[in-house]
A and B are shown apart, each in its own frame.
Chain A
Amino acid sequence: MSRSSTDRFFGLILGGVAIFSGGLVLLIVGFLILGSFPILESGRLANLFTDETWRPGSDRDPQFGILPMLVASFLVTLLAIGIAAPLGVASSVFHHFYLSEQLRRWNRRMLELLAGVPSVVFGFWGLTVIVPAVNRIEPPGQSLLAAALVLGLMIVPTVALTSQAALGAIPNYQLLAAAGLGLGRGQTILNIALPASRNGIMGGILLAIARAVGETMAVVMVCGNIPEMPSSLFDPVRPVTATIALEMGYASSTHQALLFAAGLLLVLATGAIVGWLPFRRNENESAVG
C-alpha cells in the first residue's frame, strides 16, 4: 500500500517536471509576445517594413526599418548553406563509400570535435584569419562574405553527420542489388544511394539552416554590424541575431519591444523549420515500409 503510494508520489513529481520541460518553450514564446506587445499596440508594425532606416532609439524621429536586417539574415544563411551543403554531403559520400571502418571512426570523431567548437571561437578565428583575408581582396573585410564563410564552415559538421547517418540507413539489399547489376561505385552513389537517402540529407540541411538563422556569436564578430542593405558581398551587414545581441543591453521602451519582436520572428522561423522535420521523417518511414 505504502509502496504504491510512493510510486504514485514520484510519478506525480516526474509528471510535473515533464510537463514543465515540455511547456518551457511556450513560456519562452509567451515572454517574447509579452515583450513585443508595445510595438503591436502602437500600431506601427507596418513601419518595420516601410521605414527606410533603423533608428529605433531616437526620440524625435524613430525609424523602425528592419528589412535590411532580415535581408542580411537571409543572405548570410543562404550563402552559408550554399557552402556547407555541398561540402557536407560530398564529405559524407566519401566517408560512406570510400573510407575503411577504421578511418570512418576517426572521420566521425573529428567531425564531432569540429561540431563542438564554440561559436565564439569560430567568430574569433574568423576575425583574426578570414576578415583580414577578405580585407585584402576588398576592404573593410568585415562583410557579408566573411560572415557567410565563417558560418558556412561552422555548420558543415551538422550536414555531414546527418548525411552520414542517412547514407548508413540505406537498406543493404539495395546496395547489394546495385552491385549485382554491375554498377560502379559512382553509379551506385548517384542512382541508388543519394536518391534513397534524400529525405535524411534534406533533414540535415534543414537543421543546419535553422542553426545558421539563429547563430549570433560567430556572425556578430565578422559581419561588420552596419544595418544597411548590402549591395555586394564585401559590404558590411547586420543580421537579426546580431542586432539583438548588440542593442539589448541599452534598449528601452519601443526599441526593446522591437528586439523582442525580432526574437519572436527568429523562434517562429527556426521552429517552423525544425517542426517540419518530423513530418518529413514520417514520410520517409512510410516510403520505406
Chain B
Amino acid sequence: MSHSVVSARSRCLDWAFAIAGGGAAVGTLGTLAWIIWDLIRLGISGITWNFLTGEVESAGRGGGIGPVVVSTLLILGCCLVVAVPAGMGCAVWLSEYVQRGSRLSRAISGGVDLLASVPSIVFGLFGMTFFSQVLGLGFSILSGGLTLACMILPILVRTTLSALGNLPSDLRSGAAALGLSRITALQKVLLPAAMPGVLVGIALGVGRALSETAALVFTSGYSTRWPASLGESGRSLSVHIYDLAMNIPNGSSNASATALVLLILIFVINLTATGVADLWMRRLSATE
C-alpha cells in the first residue's frame, strides 16, 4: 500500500464530505431564502398602512388586519404577564432556594422538560377544557393568552435558570459577605446581572407565542372584530393566516401579506435576542 493511494483516497473522502455537506448547508439556507422570497413576492404589495390598521372586510379577503394585530398583542400581553413571573419564579427557586440534585428539584425540572415536549395541539385541547370551559372564560383573548403562557413557561424557566447558573460565583459570595438576605441579593445583585439572559428567554418565548396557531384556534377563537375586552374572542395573526389559506376562497393574497408581517415581526425579535445574547456572552467571558 503506497502513500499516494492512501492520500488520494483520503482526499476523495474530504471532497465527498465537502460536497455533500456544502450541498446540505446551502440547500437548508436556500429553503429559508426561498420562503422569504416567495412571501415577499406575493405579499409585499399588500402591506400598506391601511392594511395594517384597517378593519377586516369580507372574511379577510378585503380590508386590513387592524383588529387582528390588536388581538395578537393582547393575547401576547396576557401570556407574558403570567408566564414571565411564573417562569422566573420557578427558575429562581430551583437555582437559589432548593438544593440542586434533590429529589424535588429533579422532579420539577423533569416536569418542566416534559411540559416542553407537549405538542401545541394538546395545549389547545387543554386550554379549551380548562380555561374556556372549567374556568368559564369561553373563547377569549384571556383564555388564549393563558394557554400560551403554559406553553412558553419551560422556555422561560430554562433560560432564566441557565442565566443564573452562568453568573460568576464571586457575585454570590460577595453578596453573602455583605450580609445581604437572599431576597435582597436576588433583587439587587443576581437578577440584574442575569437580566440579559432572561430578556433573551422572553424574546424566545414571544417568538414562540407569536408563531403559535394550533393552541389558539380553540381558545381565543376566530373573531375579527376590534376586541373591546380581554373576555372577548379575537384571532391572532397566525390564526388569520390559517383561516385565509384554508377556509376562504381567494384569501391567499391577504394571507401572504399577513404571513410576511408575522415573519418580519419574528425575525426582528429573533435577531435582537441573538444580538443581545452574543454581546452578553462576550462581556461575561471578558470579565472572567
Q: Which of B7, B110, B130, B238 contacts A118 (CB 8 A)?
A: B238
A94 and B267 in contact, given A17-B86, A21-B86, A259-B125 (Cβ under 8 angstroms):
no
Count A-B contacts at CB 8 Å. Answer: 278
Asked if B242 contacts A123 (CB within 8 A), the reply is yes
> Cβ of B181 and Cβ of A32 under 8 Å apart?
no
Question: What residues of chain A lie closer than 8 Å to B97, measured between beta carbons?
Answer: 11, 14-15
Q: Which of A122, A124, A156 has the most CB of B within 10 A?
A: A124
Which residues of chain A from 191 to 231 have any CB-CB distance to chain B below 8 Å in the complex?
210, 213-217, 220-221
Q: Which of B14, B27, B35, B120 contacts A125 (CB 8 A)?
A: B35
CA distance A26 to B259 in the complex (A): 35
Closest to B120 in A: A216
CA distance A245 to B247 in the complex (A): 14
What is the total number of residues of chain A having a CB less than 8 Å from a CB of chain B?
89
Question: What residues of chain B lie closer than 8 Å to A97, measured between beta carbons?
Answer: 17, 21
Q: Which of B31, B34, B89, B109 contacts A13 (CB 8 A)?
A: B89
Q: Is A98 an interface residue (CB 8 A)?
A: yes
Contacts of B183 in A (CB 8 A): 6-7, 10
Task: Encode A5-27 as 1/0 by CB contact (under 8 A) with B.
Answer: 01100110111011111111111
| A-B contacts, 15 listed (Cβ < 8 Å) | A11-B182, A18-B94, A19-B108, A32-B126, A98-B17, A118-B238, A120-B241, A120-B259, A127-B245, A186-B10, A214-B117, A244-B124, A245-B124, A260-B125, A270-B117
- Given known contacts A91-B21, A274-B114, is B29 in contact with A214 (CB within 8 Å)? no
Cα of A27 to Cα of B118 in the assembled complex, Å: 12
CB contact between B119 and one of A6, A125, A187, A215 (< 8 Å): that residue: A215
B-contacting 9-mer, from A48-56, A63-71, A108-116, A168-176:
A108-116
Tell which of A31, A98, A117 touches B32, judged by Cβ atoms closer than 8 Å: A117
- B109 CB contacts on chain A under 8 angstroms: 22
Q: Which residues of chain A are near B255, meaning CB under 8 Å?
A: 124
A109-B274, A121-B241 known; A18+B24 contact, CB < 8 A: no
Asked if B57 CB lies within 8 Å of chain A CBs, one says no
> In the complex, which residues 63-97 of chain B have their Cβ closer than 8 Å to any Cβ of chain A?
85-87, 89-90, 92-94, 97
Question: Are A216 and B153 interface neighbours, CB within 8 A?
Answer: no
By a CB distance below 8 angstroms, the chain A residues around B129 are 31, 35
Which chain B residue lies CB-closest to A95? B25
- Whole-angstrom CA separation of A49 from B179 in the bound complex: 65
Task: Note all chain B residues with C-beta closer than 8 A to A216.
Answer: 119-121, 213-214
On whether the beta carbons of A87 and B28 are closer than 8 Å, the reply is yes
Question: Size band of the B side of the interface?
Answer: 35 or more
B22 within 8 A of A: yes
| Closest chain B residue, CB of each to CB of A116 | B270
- Asked if B252 CB lies within 8 Å of chain A CBs, one says yes
Q: Which 3 A-B pairs have the closest CB atoms?
A: A214-B119, A94-B21, A186-B13
Report A's interface with B, CB cutoff 8 A. Answer: 3-4, 6-7, 10-11, 13-15, 17-28, 31-32, 35, 86-88, 90-91, 93-95, 97-98, 107, 109-114, 116-125, 127-129, 153, 156-157, 160, 183-187, 189-190, 210, 213-217, 220-221, 241, 244-245, 248-249, 259-260, 263, 266-267, 270-271, 273-275, 278
B210 engages A244 (CB within 8 Å): no
Name B's A-contacting residues (CB within 8 A). 7, 10-18, 20-25, 27-29, 31-32, 34-35, 38-39, 42, 85-87, 89-90, 92-94, 97-98, 107-126, 128-130, 150, 153, 157, 181-183, 207, 210-214, 217-218, 238, 241-242, 245-246, 252, 255-256, 259, 262-263, 266-267, 270-271, 274
Please classify the interface of chain B as helix (H, G, I), strand (E, B), loop, or mixed, using the class held by over half of its residues.
helix
Closest residue of chain A to B207, judged by CB?
A: A116
Known contacts: A18-B93, A91-B21, A215-B119. The answer to whether A125 contacts B39 by CB under 8 A is yes
Contacts of A124 in B (CB 8 A): 241-242, 245, 255-256, 259
Q: How far is the CB of B153 from chain A (nearest CB, A)?
A: 6
CA distance A147 to B238 in the complex (A): 19
* Distance A18 CA – B88 CA, assembled complex (angstroms): 9
Enumerate chain B residues within 8 angstroms of A160, measured Cβ to Cβ.
Answer: 28
Q: Are B125 and A21 in contact (CB under 8 A)?
A: no
Assembly CA distance A156 to B212 (angstroms): 19
Question: When the two chains form the complex, which single residue of A91, A117, A185 contacts B28, counting CB atoms closer than 8 Å?
Answer: A91
Contact A113 B13, beta carbon cutoff 8 Å: no
